[in-house]
Amino acid sequence: MRFLLTDEQREFARSLDGLLAAAGTAAVVRAWAAGDTGPGRSLWSKLADAGVFGLAVPERHGGLGVLPVELAVAFTELGRHAVPGPLVETVAAAAFLDRLGDEGVSAAWLPAIASGGSAVSFALLREDAPYALDAATADGVFAVDGDTVRLAKSAGEVQQSADPARRLARPLGGAVLARGPAVTAAAGHATRVARLVTAAQCLGLGHALLADTVTHVARRTQFGVAVGSFQAVKHQLADVLVALEFAEPLVHSAALALAAGDPAAGREIAAAKLTAGRAAHEAALTALHLHGALGYTDELDLSLWIRKARPLRDAWGTPAACRARVLAGHHCAPVPEGQGA
């Protein structure tokens, strides 16, 4: 099995990196956290034009075909640049609708998702976690409760999150779209997709945190020399790099397994999510430590990246849930997005 990306996939990653670097995503994140979604929706349209959302939509509904590896590549760059919004949830909703088997609902939503015209959210609701990401601003929320899915278009009060750009709210009411085993099966598939692309986000986030920290310790001096020359600092950064390098092939392998319809894909995705989430969290802790007091300040753009690490680590499967999935070898109950608060 081939784990290396193709030249085309690498070029796709470079093009997204260039697009997002030019967009100045730190300002977009701050605006989104303050409730101003205008800059974020403008960037959303550019990502759609680049084909990001079309990677989760079948060609018959205006997409590029369902391509898990390319999705992983795209979401690594989205994580690297800390792009806000219900990115994972929109892709999960597309996966859910594609598997639900209701062509009327699919035709109503999937073309708009592929084109960037609709930013939607998707949530698995439980009594202890009844929230959906960006439910208050999404064009619709596909809320799954047991074997029932509703389309909610209103939401309750936005809740606080460790990451201020993760605006969680309870989806309210909504018409029932479907009930039964098809909903349960489609939700399971959507959860696997959400978990995979969240793992990819963690991977990109971790690499961004590491790169920023390496730059910082090369510039900061103590006792007349760069802090980065200290052996203890080198060891911390090396540990983060090893963790990220170990996670990357797991993410790509999981994407290949999902693309191939491998029955073990769920377990591989859980392993990738566990490993990438842990690496991103380690990168955030190291960045905070080596930046010293600067790392605690809201004024430092790096704080926007640091505050994403733990919520992303926990979203769509906490470490405990993913570990249980890997060890058990069978489907475990997915953890709703609200767990990533």
Q: Give pLDDT tens digits for 207-237.
A: 999 999 999 999 988 888 998 999 999 999 9
**Pairwise CA distance, residues 84 & 33, whole Å:** 9
**Pairwise CA distance, residues 274 & 287, whole Å:** 20
102: tokens are 């209701």
Section 196-202 average pLDDT: 98
How wide is the angle at C-alpha 323 spanned by C-alphas 322 and 329, nearest 5°?
A: 90
Element (H, E) at 171: strand 171-172
128 SS3 class? coil
Give the pLDDT confidence of 284-323 residue by residue, as tens digits: 999 999 998 787 788 899 999 999 999 999 999 999 999 9
pTM recorded for the entire structure? 0.94
Cβ–Cβ under 8 Å, residues 141 and 174: yes
